[in-house]
Amino acid sequence: MISASGLAGVLTLYSTQQQAFNEEHRRVIEVVSRQVAETVRRAIGVARGDSSSLNEQLTGLPNRQQLQRFIHAELSGRRNSAGLSLVFVSMRQRPVTGGKSRRPSIRVVDAIKRTLRDGDILFRYSSTELVVLLTNTNSDTAAGIVASISSVVLEGSQSAGDFGDGITAVTLGTASAPLDGTTVEDLITAARNRQYRDSGSSKPGSVH
């Protein structure tokens, strides 16, 4: 994994079966390696105390720019019709005072991570927005994943009493390529529109 400043690490895959990996696996790993190299480099810096970003230390998630590069690479190099989808996650937060910065709820992040399948990637899109990238996933499967994420996030908030970190509501929306667009901007816009349309009356403490 090569970042802008040099070697960030080495990614190695193992299998108990012979000839377990093919060219498609290699293509996906090469794309993933390019996208996560900078994140790995920053994570190493955080571990050494070199990072000044509290949010990166708290979440360790790849960012919006990496999401854009990944989706562009996936759509431009797509060789099958399995599709690509994403889940857009928006967290409503109480007003922040005293110079505190907005950030995603660690509790929500952890809940989403527990629902991810092999190959799904969670990105931080903004201070209180996340995107789950679902490769080789059509719109029907993506809808099922949204339901699963909603269930796990709601279960966690009920057991803990809230979403954590001042978050009062979490809403989800999904979009799929090429049905909803073929660019990051098109997909995010479609997911946002679907999110707000489907959420109905958003009450504090609810997940839609």
* 33/105 same-domain check: no
Tell me how crowded residue 18 is: count the other CB atoms within 10 A of its CB. 5
Residue 181 lies in a domain: yes
Residues 66 and 48 in one domain: no
pLDDT for 19: 87
One domain, residues 94 and 139: yes
| Sites in the chain below the pLDDT cut of 50 | 49-58, 80, 197-206, 208
pLDDT tens digits for range 72-118: 877 776 554 567 899 999 888 776 655 555 566 777 888 888 888 87
Q: Which domain range does residue 105 map to?
A: 61-199
pTM for the model stands at 0.65
Is residue 208 assigned to a domain? no
Q: How many domains does the chain have?
A: 2
The reply to whether 25 and 76 lie within a common domain is no
| DSSP-assigned beta bridge partners for residue 6 | 3
State the CATH number of the domain containing residue 186.
Answer: 3.30.70.270
206 belongs to a structural domain: no
Instruction: Note the pLDDT of residue 173.
Output: 92
Neighbours of 8 (CB within 10 A): 20
